[in-house]
Chain A
Amino acid sequence: MSALLEVNGLATHFTTRDGVVKAVDGVSFRLDAGKTLAVVGESGSGKSVTALSIMRLVAKPRGNIVAGEVLFKGDDLLKMDDARVRDLRGDRIAMIFQDPMTSLNPVFRVGRQIGESLMLHKGMSRKEAFERAIELLDMVGIPNPRDRARDYPHQFSGGMRQRAMIAMALACDPDILIADEPTTALDVTIQAQILELMMEMQARTGAAIIMITHDLGVVADLADDVMVMYAGKQVEYGPSDAIFYDPFHPYTWGLLDSLPRHDVDEKGVLHPITGQPPSLINVPPGCAFHPRCPFAQEVCETDVPPALAVTDAHVSACHFSTDPEFRRGVAVACAVPEGVESA
């Protein structure tokens, strides 16, 4: 079966005064209808640019998609003319952004902003669109939706605005919903509500979701697949269970170690990743992660690691991903500081 969305070798570069920034450099994944893909990485890892590239919203003339294909139902979005992409945008593929405070236009009523894509894509009249916007606000759990649709964004709380953003994104019943850190700007208590709402909406509409986050913990329960990004590159990609319980890439280990876990021994030690993410203008040669990797060897400093398939659906871009000796050695090394014999 062909995938709903298939991305192959996507690369997006930005030209800046200081040089070319390879914000996204060779990213591939697939997304099936109704599934959830989590894209995880630190800030600057290229996850947001990946999302904007799929939407073809990378800001020109500085940003350019230089390679790859983005197949939506088999058609390459990158080869379509602008008008066709616009037809899909907001209709078949919708997006929610990080900061609901600034992502809504302050001078238009919320209902009008939600109705805008309905008028555009579904040919509704202003009145029909407004009525539908009220239904959508109700659906995302806004009380008194009929009154609230006439409010301006500043009259909404942060959580309500993100609900409104979700309503706006879901207005045309899209096949894919891209959520770029949808909860980062919100209070912790509201975060859970928004995630829950998104899952509920997915169950209801059957939309596939690409969830972009820097917080692996957020996606632990809801993602089907996980893609980990580092310095514009895809470092590990596979089914959620495999990433969480059997990760192959040292960076993923680092991410998981720095994640407070409830399923392991209480005595487990947090190993935060040391150092800073690299500047994207001066990406280290070889494996971009090698300066921070505790297990780096000579080859890591010179050769860019290929994406190695560790199982059918699971790839890891580490030279030693398919080396059982290496993994065994690491297990021993990690165990020693805690003074516990490895099994």
Chain B
Amino acid sequence: MLRYAVRRILQMIPVFIGVTIILFVLRAPGVLPGDPVRMITGERAIPESLREQIIEKHALDQPLHMQYVIYVRNLLQGDLGESYQRGRPVVDIFAEKFPNTLRLAVAAIIVEIVLGLTAGIVSAIRQYSFLDVLLTLSTSVLVSVPVFWLGMLFQIFFGIRLKEWTNDAFYLPISQMSSAQFPDWVHLILPAITLASVSTAYVARIMRSQMLEAMGQDYIRTAEAKGLKRRTVVYRHALKNAMIPVVTFVGIDFGVMMSGAILTETVFSWPGVGREIFLAVGQRDWPIVMGGVIIIVVIIMIINLIVDLSYALLDPRIRYGGGAE
């Protein structure tokens, strides 16, 4: 297990180097069209003195490899640059917004697990039934829905129409700031469902196919030959095997939600990391965009590492370095 963890961490290093090279190339002078200073300051008029300062600080007049070394050194020291438009370090801006994104991601993951697993298991147990066909078609629809559109529809329906139809008796808040009359968690409902929509469909699909695969295995027949009830066979023997890939997906998805939330957060004006990046895009404030990207990549890498390690805990074949793969 320890060896596996070490190997896995070592594998992260080349990926991290690759990521930094790509992000570096995106702002290195001469590699792509575009002014490197602008990628560092954002597209806003800056005085010539500041321009020179930046060229010096980032060694833009030096050879590329030197610039890269400086770039990585700054990164490792947690220096992601500054937003020249707001005059604040990028790290501070994101540290402030991160808890909101995290809250939304946790809520979405809960929705995804509860709805996705239930739908997948029901589908698998009643394979080819009407319910199964309906659920499977629904998952296809869900993966095809643009999340931002779904968010807008939710707002129109639950926020406004429902309120009109019920004479203000029942409706849901459409953003965090919309009103103070709801308990905190109620504000999360619509954004969380929106953010979870696509992933819920994927979880249901994966769960269904994994369940079906598990239920076709020889060890299921062995379990039935012991005289176990069908329920026990399904929920003990099949489910535990089928869950392993699903847990992996949900884990990785949790990482992705930190970033995929850019659309949901924009639609619901949710003051998180994603919306911050969206606003920065609008203002062409590139340091925030680039800094946000690298923060999120690092978070995703760490979460993926944790997922891989817990995968090993779930699957004894990996834990004991056996025949898996």
Contacts and interface: CB of A to CB of B under 8 A. Distances in A.
B218 A102 contact: yes
A90 B228 CA distance: 9
Interface string B288-325: 00000000000000000000000000111100101110
Interface string A70-90: 000000000000000011111
Contacts of B219: 102-106
Nearest to A100: B218
Given A97-B218, A154-B316, A155-B320, A105 B223 contact: yes
A97 B316 contact: no
B228 to A, nearest CB: 6
Interface string A118-144: 001100000000000000000000000
A90 B221 CA distance: 12
A109 B219 CA distance: 13
B49 interface: no
Contacts of A106: 219, 241, 315-317
Chief secondary structure at chain B's binding surface: helix
A95 B225 contact: yes
B229 interface: yes
Interface residues on A, range: 20 to 34
Interface residues of B, number: 24
A244 interface: no
Nearest to B232: A120
A94 interface: yes
A86 B315 contact: no
B204 to A, nearest CB: 22
Interface string B223-262: 1111111000000010011001000000000000000000
B55 to A, nearest CB: 58
A120 B225 contact: no
A103 B314 CA distance: 20
A80 B217 CA distance: 27
A152 interface: yes
B222 A104 contact: yes
B222 A91 contact: no
A147 to B, nearest CB: 13
Contact of A89 (B227, B244, B314, B315): B227
Nearest to A102: B218
Contacts of B322: 152, 154-155
B202 to A, nearest CB: 23
A304 to B, nearest CB: 32
A120 B323 CA distance: 31
Interface in A265-309: none
B228 A86 contact: yes
Contacts of B225: 55, 57, 89-90, 94-95, 97
Interface in B260-307: none
A116 interface: yes
Interface in B187-231: 217-219, 221-229
A155 B319 CA distance: 11
Contacts of A86: 227-229
A42 interface: no
Given A107-B315, A152-B316, A97 B227 contact: no
Contacts of B324: 154
A43 B241 CA distance: 30
A108 B315 CA distance: 10
A107 B241 contact: yes
B218 A88 contact: no
Contacts of A88: 227
Contacts of A108: 237, 240
B287 to A, nearest CB: 48
A53 interface: no
A94 B221 CA distance: 12
A119 to B, nearest CB: 10
Contacts of B218: 97, 99, 102-103
Nearest to B217: A102
Interface in B23-63: none
A270 B207 CA distance: 53
A108 to B, nearest CB: 8
A117 B227 contact: yes
A281 B240 CA distance: 37
Contacts of B222: 97, 103-105, 165, 168
Nearest to A107: B240
Contacts of A117: 226-227
Interface of A: 55, 57, 86-91, 94-95, 97, 99, 102-108, 116-117, 120-121, 152, 154-155, 165, 168
5 closest A-B pairs by beta carbon, nearest first, are A89-B227, A90-B227, A90-B226, A152-B316, A102-B218
23 contacts: A55-B225, A57-B225, A89-B227, A90-B227, A91-B227, A94-B225, A97-B221, A97-B225, A102-B219, A103-B219, A103-B222, A104-B219, A105-B222, A105-B223, A106-B315, A116-B226, A117-B227, A120-B226, A120-B228, A152-B322, A154-B317, A154-B320, A154-B323
Given A95-B225, A117-B227, A152-B320, 20 more contacts: A57-B221, A57-B224, A88-B227, A89-B224, A90-B227, A91-B227, A97-B225, A105-B222, A105-B237, A105-B241, A107-B314, A108-B237, A108-B240, A116-B223, A120-B227, A121-B227, A154-B316, A154-B317, A155-B320, A165-B222
